[in-house]
Structure 1
């Protein structure tokens, strides 16, 4: 065998042809490469009940897995299986990291849902590069409907994109049942019903086989799955010269260009070149000498290639004729992640995390999901490694991409190569290849939000955007135009801002007329998936299923006993409880105080209404502080949006009735707690010198994570312990964090995902 190194071409071939290929092929492909971004969203769990919150940390990186500094805005959508957007978040990205959450209380029905994420720049490369992750939501268990008819999708993938006569061909086979990979066996027969070869499912509906395609023959595949026999015709051979075959199972990458011996002499009339590339980056290329290299194996040092998915494209006379993707893993066993638990504290456990790369400390940013070992259905099907090293470089849907990066799976790389074999060759001309390599930059990077509009009449050329505390956010020069545009704004949804003309000395005065352009961005794309039914009984252990029946059955029975139909008040109370659970952990113990509808529309101070409506009086204690008294010996505590109003704030609370959404009450033996929740327009410290504008198209503020309150009816398999975001390791590669101490006899699952400042990906599941 001949061994090749990219830095030196070890064969006598025309230097002119080599230079010609560089000018005609390589340079046009590299001419206008766009900055490439990819996204990953790590969620705190993979399966949720309908009263859960989906907490997540998002990562955005470039083609080299370095944290992206080009974008500060990531769009994250929650969609159903049909691609319909249920909820959308604008996540602020700082140095490649952002956090957020979805409240799924309003999701209708059990089943599979999807987290979708993309930056504006990612849209330049098509929606195939968008991040997509499946999650499961369970409202109640369901039993499989045996009457559902299976739908089969069977595809054949010749290794070079075609089959060649009188040559050993490699054929990839993919079989999906109702959109999921399934077990199968099969064989190929010729026109005389003679068996040529056999194959069977190796992993997730994927298989392959080898057979020599005899000239003038036709072939048929007979596949058996789910007690069903399916017969399909194998694609016919094509009038081609060469097959591109790749063997990635050894230490060296082996490439072979196969051709019938009778055609080898004819091949000398053409130029053949192998181009190695990853995504939109050229790695190297070399030309083929048909006399010495056809039907012989060529070895390539894998260290010369990029980590992740690489592509070889075979050119004939400057046109691509065959292609093959393969995976290079040059980082095996280089990363070490260890975690130790210190149980010496009374109420918590201190966890000490240490990360080394090539035995050197690694500075990184992490998110960690902390779950009890009993957690049901925990399956991290999508990891930062699969999101950054695999899915952006392949087309189509990948079932359980995280499997290929779990070192516990001994055949993962073999199965990954099988997956890439079934990618096939998308036939295109060189012109189309250049377009794919260099898409036009239609969508720009987004560093914050824009605020556009017009003001009139034009009193001065300086316009200022003012925050709620009357600090200047941004000052622009209008150039004698009534139109304005503030750029790169770090604003959050429902923030109140004011727009003012400014003098040279920054003295503010109000415009007579302001008109804002508040056009919202559209959400896209819809995800094309098979619609998957709700979780089925056979997916659970008997114990888990009994827990489901107990949990949901008890809830339904209670509802039936109380009322056949929920009242409007109970529905509203349920909505309020779900909405404000993050602010008040025991919100379910409160009941709402009825208020006249017109009271919410006037400018009356809330305290005036509150004292009058509830028969409460404000009492001053020894001239030192005020407090609220319901009756002698019974005090009242007032909270606004979950925050206790202090004694010094009671007499100065400027909250108006028009800003109140709900007032709730919880009585105790010697005092009463009142919770006041405000509507979206309320902001206690805005000085109304100018008209206020509520920002709707802006970043979404992330809430602080809270562990759900204990519920003895909740299935134990769906409890969670903690969710850690924005963790960082120091110069020694260490990070320490606390988790709540629970049952010491039960082990804990730590699902760790992260990204180092120099592009190393961290993906570990540790059970301690």
Structure 2
């Protein structure tokens, strides 16, 4: 072996070692760079609200006088697992139009779930209501978009007792027009109703702007007239029709030319139109209410027709073309006379483009291309779902490359695929909905059938994941008359979690994309992703950077504990150390002492609210400088509580409530009015006291009244009641006894019935320096008859046959529930939905008929 050969071989070995070390060091540097980049993004995603809350209700439509049952799922907003961060669920029910709060209570959250109940009071008017919930980790002072609400319809009667036929005098209206509404008022038998009272209100953008009252004539007809002085968008007429003991409520939207003002937007795939590169351009057309409009149009290049375009789904569509710098492009819509020419975004001369070319169960396949001058570009492809990075890969891009992104480890939901340049600056992005099959598959047997009145139904529930593994999970099930279903408000845990809370805007009919009957739903779902625009994902950097740096304690609106402090007025108490006596009159063993911090602040714990569930707990400040039994002393120190619902009302007015667009778009921000106790606010067990017949909320206040109202009545030795000649305490005087008869000073007789209470509830609390705090609201048990053991001669008119919010499947993924049909012969619908501990979600509906 010659020396030249050895030198040559040694040279290659040294070169190989050098290259290996170089690429190893380079790879290590790249890995460090990627780790820092990912950590930085995860820190940014920590700005997002930790929890979100889905509300499941026993049905969609309620009649006054009924019970509304609900279940709250408090979920980690990234992984959709039950959250243990929150302990108190602050709940409000409010009128959607007027924002009047008709119910608010605190409910206990146990391991991420709340099972609640609300009584729908007879005093409520028919209309739409919002059931909204707030927790310490779901609602903050900087909240701009609010999702944790569910629309409820309340009606006086589901079965109309009055028929109201109506017609407008014009097909469409505009501002300044005179509206004439023709009405015909009929009975259920379609007889004319004479002198029916028609109370008509004109509403615009959530405010009442006019009000008239009319009467029907002998033919049952009437006319309602309004001059439309405001814009017609989001305007309606509210009708209340009363005839004798029957009444009917109707809301009528005022028609206008919805297509006159079209909002037409285009969305380049990847974010930009790049000259010389093939581009997909998606578009979306909606009217002023946000409702989709099907459109047809032509794309022009330098004022010459290039191609035709048509919307495919809910006003959305997509077409493909290759733009060129220096050329002008615009779209003209057909059959529209106003604002029908729309320019395209500026064409970038150089750039990088991303296109989704193919997808299957295992991979997303993208084409990444560029027209940059550098022969090789180093890029990074990142995939994140709900603020968690699942994949990031460095790549070398020449003119074009095909990238395969594995789907195995990604959860179901919206994935953001972003291309970064070598300096880790974003240059292209694509939203893709992935792994729609990763969910809980729920089977309910028997799914459908025909049943007799009062027949027992046994449902067998079986839950599996996408790999056919049995799943233990937590589920809620309701079975109710289908007439109480709102066809336009099909919201479930899938649509709420995967779409509604993940995108910036409002989504039209999100349930379409999860209904397996819609065979083209995956294609249309991808079209929805294309029309969300550049960085529209709520978990993208641009959205997260708009949030505050961190979620600190001072940014919270409500807390897991009730906060309070001692307010001191007298100087003699400024240096005094106070404590608090926490007293539960129902369970005296739960009484406790709380010591305050150096600012005289305190917290009421979750357990103390739990101990007082369904009642009240009382707080009394204690100081060694004041006698605890000095009832007549004017206290110079008192307890001041922070009222969570006042804080909620103040901060929710700054947030936009985002609800899916179902029939009409509502862009207004809901501003809540200060809460006022209404007639439907429930009270606890009452105690009737003698005298003025004062009603107190509970027995404890009755006891306090007895203490405060200690009788000073007496009789003298001559049996004269409160004798003026012999004052109390003189020789021979004694206490007056109830039921005894005494002489009066004027010579008459009286049968003594005791002293009269002269204290109101507020008087008693102030007199004893007590603060009353309501505990958790106590939910009632859902009633179910058992016709196996008992018979009932009375009609069974239940329209909700079952509400069971606490179904837990076993290790085989199975559970069994049973219930009895009522005497209502109708089609019934069952809805079951829930989660497992790994964040998989599931929802299923079934129907059956109860025959006559």
Structures share a fold, TM > 0.5?
A: yes
The counterpart of 1:213, out of the listed 320, 323, 347, is: 323
What is the CA distance between 1:136 and its match in structure 2?
Answer: 4.0
Q: Choose from 749, 753, 764 the match for 2:829.
A: 749
| Residue aligning to 1:354 | 461
Q: Which residue of 1 aligns with 2:367?
A: 256
The alpha-carbon distance between structure 1 residues 598 and 345, as it changes in their structure 2 partners (threshold 3 A), is same
Question: Is it true that 1:67 corresponds to 2:82 in the alignment?
Answer: yes
Give the counterpart of 2:565 among 453, 464, 477.
Answer: 453
| Alignment of 1:235 onto 2:345 | yes
CA contact (8 A) 2:508 2:660 kept: no
- Whether the 8 Å contact between 1:369 and 1:750 is mirrored in structure 2 is yes
User: 1:203 offset after TM fit, Å?
Assistant: 2.7
Q: What corresponds to 1:468 in structure 2? A: 585
Shift of 1:461: 6.1
Following superposition, the deviation at residue 722 of structure 1 comes to: 3.6
State how far apart, in whole Å, the 2-side matches of 1:307 and 1:534 are: 28
Give runs of aligned pairs for residues 531-546 of structure 1, distance below 5 A: none
Provide the residue aligned with 1:29 in structure 2. 41
> Which residue of the partner structure matches residue 387 of structure 2?
280
Structure 2 CA distance for partners of 1:301 and 1:761, relative to 1, 3 Å: same
Shift of 1:764: 0.6
Q: Distance in 1 between matches of 2:659 and 2:257?
A: 13
Contact 2:458–2:817 under 8 Å retained in 1: yes
RMSD, aligned CA: 4.9
Structure 1 pair 360/166, CA: closer, same or farther in 2 (3 Å)? closer
Q: Match of 2:445, SS?
A: strand
Distance of 1:763 and 1:533 partners within structure 2 = 20
Distance in 1, matches of 2:52 and 2:811, equals 27
Unaligned runs of 5+ in 2: 1-22, 156-247, 665-677, 703-753, 786-796
Is 1:45 the equivalent of 2:64? no
Q: Which residue matches 2:807?
A: 727
2:618 is aligned, of 482, 492, 497, to 497
CA distance in 2, matches of 1:602, 1:338: 49
After TM superposition, the score normalised by the length of structure 2 is: 0.62
**Residues of 1 paired with 2:662 and 2:812: CA distance?**
48
Report the alpha carbon displacement of residue 527 of structure 1 after superposing the two structures with TM: 3.4
Report the Cα distance in structure 2 between the residues aligned to 1:230 and 1:345, rounded to whole angstroms. 59
Give me the TM-score of the superposition, normalised by structure 1.
0.68
- Does structure 1 conserve the Cα–Cα contact (< 8 Å) formed by 2:562 and 2:642? no
Helix, strand or coil at the partner of 2:494: helix
**Cα offset for 1:66?**
1.4
Q: Which has the higher contact order (CA 8 A, sep 6+)?
A: 1
Q: Does 1:290 align with 2:380?
A: no
- Whichever of the two has the greater Rg, that structure is 2
Instruction: Give deviations 1:216-249, integer Å, cap 9, x for gaps.
Output: 2222223357998833222222344111222464
Question: 1:243–1:490: structure 2 CA closer, same or farther, 3 Å change rule?
Answer: farther
Q: What does 1:597-616 correspond to in 2, within 5 Å? A: 599-600=693-694
8 Å CA contact retained: 2:145, 2:658: no
Q: How does 1:294-373 map to 2 (within 5 A)?
A: 294-316=399-421, 317-329=423-435, 331-332=437-438, 335-340=441-446, 347=454, 349-358=456-465, 359-373=468-482
Change (3 A) 1:127 1:484: same
Give the number of aligned pairs.
621
2:638 is matched with which residue?
514
Distance in 1 of aligned mates of 2:540 and 2:693: 70
For residue 171 of structure 1, report the CA deviation from its aligned partner: 1.8
CA distance, structure 2, for counterparts of residue 718 and residue 398 of structure 1: 35
Q: What's the offset of the Cα at 1:114?
A: 3.6
CA distance in 1, matches of 2:335, 2:128: 25
**Any conservation in 1 of the 2:798–2:824 contact (CA below 8 Å)?**
no
Which residue, 112, 126, 149 being the options, matches 1:96?
112
Structure 1 unaligned blocks of 5 or more:
1-10, 536-574, 584-594, 608-653, 661-679, 709-716
User: CA–CA distance in 2 between the matches of 1:694 and 1:451?
Assistant: 14
Alignment of 1:84-163 (within 5 A): 84=99, 86-87=101-102, 88-102=104-118, 112-123=128-139, 126-128=143-145, 130-137=147-154, 140-142=249-251, 145-147=254-256, 150=259, 151-163=261-273
- Conserved? CA contact 1:384–1:762, under 8 Å: yes
From 387, 395, 402, the equivalent of 2:504 is: 395
Equivalent residue runs for 1:564-643 within 5 Å = 599-600=693-694
Which of residues 382, 385, 396 is equivalent to 2:494?
385
Q: CA deviation at 1:27?
A: 2.6
What secondary structure sits across from 2:33 in the alignment?
Answer: helix
CA separation in 2, counterparts of 1:168 and 1:420? 19
Q: 1:103 to 1:368 in 2, by over 3 A?
A: same
Per the TM alignment, residue 41 of structure 1 is displaced from its structure 2 partner at its CA by 0.5
Work out the CA distance in 2 between the residues paired with 1:734 and 1:681. Answer: 53
Per-residue deviation, 1:360 = 4.2
Name the stretch that deviates more: 212-221 or 336-345. Answer: 336-345
SS at match of 1:19: helix
Per-residue CA deviations over 1:45-97 (Å, capped at 9, x if unaligned) read 23445665543211011122211011112344445556936344433211111
Q: Residue 695 in 1 paired to residue 773 in 2? A: yes
Q: What's the secondary structure of 1:121's corresponding residue?
A: coil
Q: Report if aligned partners of 1:222, 1:229 keep a CA contact under 8 Å in 2.
A: no
SS of match in other structure, 1:390: helix
Determine helix, strand or coil for the equivalent of 2:810: coil
Deviation, 1:407, is 2.2
